[in-house]
Structure 1
């Protein structure tokens, strides 16, 4: 009897932890803040920027997948073209802040990068609104094809307008972000840029939760769950779809701008169609329609991606297999798997009480 009671108590504790998504999210953020400070005392990691760059990539891709989740997970709109918004955000921010290209080349003026990343996100949101005009009339595979075409159009634009973007060669010496004289350079600092992107990641996650819990979020969810019923209840379908595209594009454009100023170099090769597939893989792997899924997906897939550098030629094949497995066996991702485990423990606990 005591063994059974102990086992039941343990199951209940595990179930409570799995159900507490906010606690898990808070713990994850705490780790992301504390671990780098702890690692600074390790001589090996202190001499290497790789650890902080990896964490910065994870944060940036968390913003991307969170934005994609608003469109796909909460509104039910498929997109294989978010690398296009990522590209727009990156190039827009660089062209407004670079002294040798864009504003600097044509008008002799440049804007501070901390301002251009927000302006670039707004430009990406504008393109999201424009894309939503034809997208509002399409569903499923037709919508997917439209977003793929959008991605290719963006790539063609940045590749062929060489006077503006330097074409396939790309743009080097991207200006670093400077706030009140405090430099966030990945060259001079190992961790400052990481904490900057971590701050924005937390901010965007908080904003996302406020959005999905608001009237706008309820409009998104009603469209995702039953488009006909939502229309019948008087939900403005066009308005909410457009809003979803705009918010999603803003998130991804902002992440693209952060990425450009972190790497210090951009070229069309960074934003190919494969990048959109990677974004989708991250979201599906972690689980869509929740707070934790995009964080888990971005963290795990980014780490795996870095580990698969020797298998770069087969990377897209591996992603394709991962997507297929998720769709067939675990469509709700890791978060869904956690829910299944929690429900299984709950049923076992009920049987034990009986």
Structure 2
């Protein structure tokens, strides 16, 4: 009888191993398909000519006293870039640059060359005690900046409306790295994120200096931006980051919140209609490259503080009136006890 039981256990164990192997093969196949699509599909599009623009302005170190001059210098650069883009025949880029050159714009950084980079402040950074830094995901550039800025504006309006007495806030839209294309090999690996991490830490140091070294900073990281925040997380000590919120995340490239090696609170959320849930949350080696980002940040295994995001899709986390925006505002304002959980 013992032998029979042993044989049945062996058969059952073999079935379990085959099931696991089958699941692993499916995940690898899914990732392989993503890689193939990422490699093949961009080949069908024509390369876009480079857009000319002046080099970034050379600025004095940022302090509360130098903020105004930095904003002015970057507005001048944006206006020059608008003229060059117009002469180049790119009216859409010229319109974006002109909007950024408006007298009310507060630009910490501006680079209109190529896909473009910009760091824009909404609010009074010099006196802020709470600062939110938005880190965008794939396909974000100056050509799509209006969409990204709208998310920052929605958050700024929400926290301005709800700011407690004695608290001053600012929202920073940080397009400070070359984001990957949604259909590309780069969006499936941590490469761009690792390149972006030092730039994110650098701007955090500048924000602290510009605000007199006093604000608490929340990183709000959307989609691939969550991979960037994870790459930066282990070296955030002394930069005032109190919270990191991962929304619509494909994974972080780390197996758990603890693996981020930061004292900041780690939050995660996903809307019920977000397609990112269908991306395999695995990491594997294909063609000599590690592909995928591992553990799902909203899963218990990751260990983040999971908050409610409502029924929104991948681009709805900052939609005015949404559950997710309300919770993100509470995180930024330090009202963590008011955050509603999924």
TM-score tier, shorter chain, comes to under 0.3
Greater relative contact order (CA < 8 Å, ≥ 6 in sequence): 1
Between Structure 1 and Structure 2, the one with more strand by share is 2
TM-score by length of 1: 0.26
TM-score by length of 2: 0.26
